[in-house]
Amino acid sequence: MTSTDLTEPAARALIVVDVQPTFCEGGELGVDGGNAVADRVAAYAAAHRDRYAAVVTTQDWHIEPGEHFSETPDFVDSWPPHGIAGSPGAELHPALADLAPDVSVKKGQYSHGYSGFDGVDEGGRTLATILAESGIGAVDVVGLVESHCVKHTALDARRLGLDARVLTDLTIPVSPEQGEQARAELAAAGVALLDSSSV
């Protein structure tokens, strides 16, 4: 076999999902450990930017998401108001101030918007279009939270035929039980679950 027979590895993007104050301690839908995840994601991205063809952030950016918001939420299909467009809680976490993403995607304006692939950039391009136009065939998914938007983003990446990994130390679930369920779903879909130190 010659070197010309070797297949080049797919260009890879880092997708930073919903690292926003709304999902961290003190936020409208805060998860214990959210701030620490934000710090770890920021440190990892700064140290390993050269591994990625693109860094993409997603944000919950709810304007009128319908049944997604409820005054009596069931925390399965309905939630207290969070990630409200234009609010401080919906901005990127301060830990990401120096991230300088290549693309920012906002999602959930008028829907649930669990997956980053439900969102669009300021030019109206979907995440799938953005990745395709950039020649990206693989993604690492990190952020908040593992049991919900990280999971849905990684599952959609697999449905689109992308190689997908979730870096498990750079995310956190709402609860250990929901995290275990999410990881089972991800593994069954062919999403690799890896510690960032091993990639």
Enumerate the active-site residues.
Answer: 18, 107, 149
Tokens 């003190």 appear where? 26
Count each helix (H run) and each strand (E run) in the chain, helices first. 4, 6
Helix (H, G, I), strand (E, B) or coil at 139: strand
Half-sphere exposure of 177 (CA within 13 A, CB side): 0
Q: Helices 176-188 and 151-159 sit at what angle, rounded to 10 degrees?
A: 10
Q: How far apart (Å, rounded) are the C-alpha atoms in residues 44 and 54?
A: 14
